Amino acid sequence: MREINLGAGRPDPLSFPSDALAEAAAKVISSRGAELVNYPDGRGYEPLRTIASERYKRGTGRAVPLEEIVLTSGSMQALQLITDAFASPGDTIVTESFSYGGSLSVFRSRQVRIAPTPIDDHGLVTDELETVLKRLVDAGTPPKFIYTIPTHHNPTGSILPLDRRERLLELAREFDTLVVDDHCYGDIVFQTEPVPPNLYHLDEDGRVVYVGSFSKILGPGVRQGYFMAPEALQQRIMANKMDGGTNALASMIVAEYFGEHLWDHIREVNAVMKARKDAVVESLATHFSALGEDVWWTDPPGGMFVWVRIPAATDTRKVHQTATSRGVYYTPGQGFSATGEDVPYLRIAYGFPTIEDIRQGIPILAECVKEAQGKELAA
Ligand SMILES: Cc1ncc(COP(=O)(O)O)c(C=O)c1O
């Protein structure tokens, strides 16, 4: 059976620059390999931090001082360190009502209470955020931080508009809490209008931590991520980083390659990604439209995912079981639900599958959704 993976938030294996990375590895090992007898610098290999700073500059016009940037083993390690630094078991944090499942798992494993905040087509609804913050403060459980994915949200792909970004920061100030801006998909962008600056850039009083990654533009296997934080916050986050440093060999290779190819590579990745996103949206229009009136999906301006609403009466477990038995993998909406409840949504990831996979997989998925109708009757 041919397997079709519409579940993995990974880039296209065919765009992975194996030959160029092999060349970069040979060059950097012969020129700098002996440095690897040392433990890495506490903040990580400086040339890769320089690249992180240049990436940031493209969106904001400002290079971040290298002392503010710390390399981590994927951005996942950064998220874990940030959570451990600022939230203890029993504490509360705020997230979007749908959010990245990996982050939700980090928060849950820390036994942190999650206060979900409604989102719409443009991301976090800041009026609702104000209500949630007031409720938490009144209950004596002020949040330790607000975790948000304002740019190319996972799973919805939305971009938070500038006025909401500013309002979010105002609320963080008013309620004296921190903000974690997960910018993992920042450079996977299809829309031609500029994306509003990230929260770290807009912040004026040192309460934002920015999380970045090389996973989505290169591959999660390299495990190169980072965070940016002002000195005071950085010290607290670093206090838990006791891993001997972030893999300097991987950092050297990635820095050598991206030193020359960063924007060419990103352009190439985005072209592939956009063609696949278009194929998903086109295929959904053909095969999902007839499934019900309450069915809709996003046409994301960037990122790696299309978020699909399926009929409310769908037996979501059955969809997943049948799709899996037919070799089609996707992520059920429940994995993104901040409350953990079953929801009539599914997420299609388009970075990894080919266009042919997409065109074959989506009709199968539509059949599985159709066969799983009438949840109430079955229950
Ligand atoms: C929003 C978000 N943040 C962080 C990560 C973790 O990425 P990595 O640890 O590979 O950098 C992911 C991975 O899917 C993600 O979607």
Homologous superfamily in CATH for domain 4-14+266-378: Aspartate Aminotransferase, domain 1 (3.90.1150.10)
Distances (CA, A) of 257 to 24, 180, 299, 308: 6, 29, 32, 36
Q: Residue 312: pLDDT above 80?
A: yes
- The pLDDT score that the predictor gives to residue 192 is 87
Amino acid at 194: P
Instruction: Report how far ligand 1's centroid is from the alpha carbon of 220 (Å).
Output: 8
Instruction: Report how far ligand 1's centroid is from the alpha carbon of 238 (Å).
Output: 19
- The pLDDT score that the predictor gives to residue 288 is 97
Mean pLDDT of 313-326: 96
- The pLDDT score that the predictor gives to residue 160 is 98
Mean pLDDT of 62-71: 96
The residue with greater pLDDT, 107 or 59, is: 107
Token pair of 4, please? 């079709």
Q: How far apart are CA 201 and CA 218, in angstroms?
A: 24
Q: Residue 169: pLDDT above 50?
A: yes
Which atom of ligand 1 lies nearest, measured to the CA of 223?
10
Please choose, from the candidates 332, 298, 297, the residue with its C-alpha nearest in 3D space to the C-alpha of residue 314: 332
- The pLDDT score that the predictor gives to residue 376 is 58
Which residues have C-beta atoms less than 6 Å from ligand 1? Answer: 9, 74-76, 100, 102, 149, 154, 182, 184, 213, 215, 220, 225
User: Of the ranges 193-197, 304-308, 325-329, 354-358, which one carries the lowest mean pLDDT score?
Assistant: 193-197
Q: Residue 379: pLDDT above 80?
A: no
The residue with greater pLDDT, 157 or 2, is: 157
CB atoms under 10 Å from CB of 198, counted, come to: 22
Of 55, 148, 182, 184, best ligand 1 pocket probe by most atoms within 8 Å of the beta carbon: 184
pLDDT bin (cut points 50, 70, 90) of residue 40 is very high
Which CATH number is 17-262's, of 3.40.640.10, 3.30.110.30, 3.40.50.1260, 3.30.160.150? Answer: 3.40.640.10
Instruction: Report how far ligand 1's centroid is from the alpha carbon of 47 (Å).
Output: 22
- The pLDDT score that the predictor gives to residue 191 is 86
- The pLDDT score that the predictor gives to residue 14 is 87
- The pLDDT score that the predictor gives to residue 90 is 98
DSSP one-letter string for 99-150: --HHHHHHHHHTT-EEEEE-EETTEE-HHHHHHHHHHHHHTT---SEEEE--
Is the backbone of residue 86 left (phi > 0), alpha (psi -120 to 50) or beta?
A: alpha
Instruction: Report how far ligand 1's centroid is from the alpha carbon of 75 (Å).
Output: 6
Instruction: Report how far ligand 1's centroid is from the alpha carbon of 76 (Å).
Output: 6
Q: How far apart are CA 275 and CA 351, in angstroms?
A: 10
CB atoms under 10 Å from CB of 377, counted, come to: 8
Q: How far apart are CA 366 and CA 358, in angstroms?
A: 12
Which atom of ligand 1 lies nearest, measured to the CA of 99?
1
- The pLDDT score that the predictor gives to residue 377 is 45
Residues 306, 299 contacting (CB under 8 angstroms): yes
Which atom of ligand 1 lies nearest, measured to the CA of 225?
11
- The pLDDT score that the predictor gives to residue 246 is 98
Strands 145-148 and 225-228 come out as: unpaired
CA 184-99-229 angle, 5° bins: 45
pLDDT bin (cut points 50, 70, 90) of residue 159 is very high
What are the boundaries of each domain within the chain?
A: 4-14+266-378, 17-262
End-to-end CA distance of the chain: 31
Of 80, 147, 216, 224, best ligand 1 pocket probe by most atoms within 8 Å of the beta carbon: 216
Q: Residue 214: pLDDT above 70?
A: yes
Query: Max Cα separation, the chain?
Result: 68
- C-alpha dihedral over 158, 7, 257, 31, to 10 degrees? 130
Write the pLDDT tens digit of every residue in 325-371. Answer: 999 999 999 999 999 999 999 999 999 999 999 999 999 999 999 99
- The pLDDT score that the predictor gives to residue 1 is 83
- The pLDDT score that the predictor gives to residue 378 is 43
Write the pLDDT tens digit of every residue in 245-301. Answer: 999 999 999 999 999 999 999 999 999 999 999 999 999 999 999 999 999 999 999
Amino acid at 352: F
Does residue 89 have a cis peptide bond before it, meaning omega lies within 30 degrees of 0? no
